[in-house]
Amino acid sequence: MPGFADRLNGIGVSASAAMTDKARELKAEGLKIVSLSSGEPDFPTPDHVVDAAIAAARGGDTKYPPQDGKPALKKAVQAKFLRENHLDYALDEILVGNGAKQIIFDAMMATCNAGDEVVLASPYWISYSDIARLCGAKPVQVPCPAEDNFRLSAKALDAAITPKTKWLLLNFPNNPTGACCPREDMEEIAAVLLKHPHVWIMTDDIYEHLIYDDFEFCTIAEVEPRLKDRVLTVNGVSKAYAMTGWRVGYCGGPRDLIAAMNNMQGQSTSGINTIAQAAAIAALEGPQDFLKERAAEYQSRRDLVVGLLNEIPGVTCHTPQGAFYVYPEIGACLGKTTPKGRHLATDADFVMALLEEKQVASVQGGAYGMSPFFRISYATDRETLKEGCRRIADFIASLT
């Protein structure tokens, strides 16, 4: 049998995708699965967004699009960056991709060489490290401890940067912890990066509108304009507008970087689905009031889940200020045995046993670079969240 590329060595299926797929399999077998593994809003895509897509399809907007995005969408992105982030990007400094994930992939593929390093604040979204490896780079983790509310220390970041560092990747609000970065922290991080002019900075702001407790979001190019010519500001419509399946991401960045990324995109997917682009225009240019309403509902769910989890002996759960995840610590559960005889040596053992014995799908912390934790998504209804937490409590109480 012919072989496969060496670049795939050590690259596995995303743990969150694997757990979601496993949950679907068990559901198909008739089991009543409580799925808390998927980072997908349970709200519908807004009606005006769907209507715009239908109108585009019926109006014949079905031809090949410009590779870097339709001008109307790039103008909507340009206006969004200026309106919400005080960032002024020219149209040739904006790129539209198949979700924010492709934007990240394009950027690393266009810049990374073998031996380069990509600095990640840990815990981090699973795909960051695997994309870096696919590009020949080495992920370098900067731990953000739970006792510091998973905040990134400027001092620790400075110590992690070397002459080989190609990128720093920031993600606040964070997946998987929901941690946010206060402006004063961002200013300290920016001060470090001013000392290292060879480092590109990517900020994944996909959860920008999912913030709680009157937290004020900021992004690094806004906080420190002197870094703007090295910053790639990444965002998309998936999370805030409940448009995960539409697959539209976008970014603003230096003109030469955007051109290189567009070249990379042209060799993979070319332009983005025209109907989805019409929907994204409607999302960015249409009513925005519902974003705060939905964030308020997520905050209520957060409070419910954090309260229920912290009532469970052996679980410690911080209160996140953004996104729709909690990241409980379960060190007290490891070393124990389940009623079906499974020894829990790692958080991966914990989540698999939780799924198989109590039918609750979650994701192990090790997949995000920090153990012993597990990730729960509260982007689902309250009754499901209550039932999931009840089963988690029963499972942990049954350990010996």
Look at residues 363, 375, 253, 371 and name the one whose alpha carbon lies nearest to residue 14.
Answer: 363
pLDDT at 14 over 80: no
Q: What's the one-letter identity of residue 347?
A: D
232 CB-side CA count, 13 A: 31
pLDDT of residue 269: 93
Please state, in angstroms and rounded to a whole number, the distance separating the CA atoms of residues 160 and 126: 20
Q: What's the one-letter identity of residue 217?
A: F
- Look at the block and give the residue holding tokens 């070319």: 270
The mean pLDDT of 309-317, rounded to a whole number, is 97
What is the total residue count of the chain?
A: 400
What values do phi and psi take at 198, rounded to 5? -85, 0
Q: What is the dihedral of CA 149, 152, 153, 156, to 10 degrees?
A: 120
pLDDT at 78 over 90: yes
Helix axes 274-285, 47-58, angle to 10 degrees: 140
pLDDT of residue 312: 98
pTM, entire model: 0.95
pLDDT of residue 214: 93
CATH 3.40.50.300 assigned to domain 47-285? The reply is no
pLDDT of residue 25: 84
Q: What is the dihedral of CA 370, 374, 375, 378, to 10 degrees?
A: -150
The mean pLDDT of 258-278, rounded to a whole number, is 96
For residues 30 and 267, the model is more confident at 267
What values do phi and psi take at 121, rounded to 5? -75, 120
390 neighbors 328 (Cβ within 8 angstroms)? no
Chain center to CA of 165: 22
pLDDT of residue 23: 80
For residues 325 and 16, the model is more confident at 325
pLDDT tens-digit readout, 94-113: 999 999 999 999 999 999 99
Please state, in angstroms and rounded to a whole number, the distance separating the CA atoms of residues 396 and 141: 30
pLDDT of residue 285: 98
Host H or E run for residue 249: strand 249-252
pLDDT of residue 27: 81
pLDDT band at 190 (very low <50, low <70, confident <90, very high): very high
What are the Cα distances from residue 372, in Å, to 153, 328, 367?
21, 9, 11
Per-residue b or e along 121-151, where b marks 16 or more CB atoms closer than 10 Å to that residue's CB: bbbbbbbbbbbbbbbebbbbebbbebeebbb
For residues 32 and 18, the model is more confident at 32
Fold classification of 6-44+290-397 is Aspartate Aminotransferase, domain 1 (3.90.1150)
pLDDT of residue 117: 98
170 neighbors 201 (Cβ within 8 angstroms)? yes
Strands 231-236 and 200-204: what pairing?
parallel
pLDDT band at 21 (very low <50, low <70, confident <90, very high): confident
Strands 374-377 and 363-364: what pairing?
antiparallel
pLDDT tens-digit readout, 326-377: 999 999 999 999 999 999 999 999 999 999 999 999 999 999 999 999 999 9
pLDDT at 18 over 90: no
**Could you give the 3-state DSSP secondary structure of residue 265?**
helix
What are the Cα distances from residue 207, in Å, to 84, 161, 204, 226, 276?
13, 26, 8, 24, 20
Name the average pLDDT for the chain.
Answer: 96
Structure tokens, 269? 């997917």
pLDDT > 70: percent of the chain: 100
pLDDT at 24 over 90: no
Structure tokens, 47? 């009606």
What values do phi and psi take at 126, rounded to 5? -50, -45
Chain center to CA of 23: 21
254: Cβ–Cβ under 8 A, 6 or more apart, which residues? 93, 228, 229, 230, 231, 232
Please state, in angstroms and rounded to a whole number, the distance separating the CA atoms of residues 150 and 113: 30
Count CB neighbours of 24 within 10 A.
14
pLDDT at 225 over 90: yes
Strands 138-143 and 363-364: what pairing?
unpaired
pLDDT tens-digit readout, 115-141: 999 999 999 999 999 999 999 999 999
Domain chopping of the chain, boundaries: 6-44+290-397, 47-285
- Across-strand partners of 316? 329
pLDDT at 309 over 90: yes
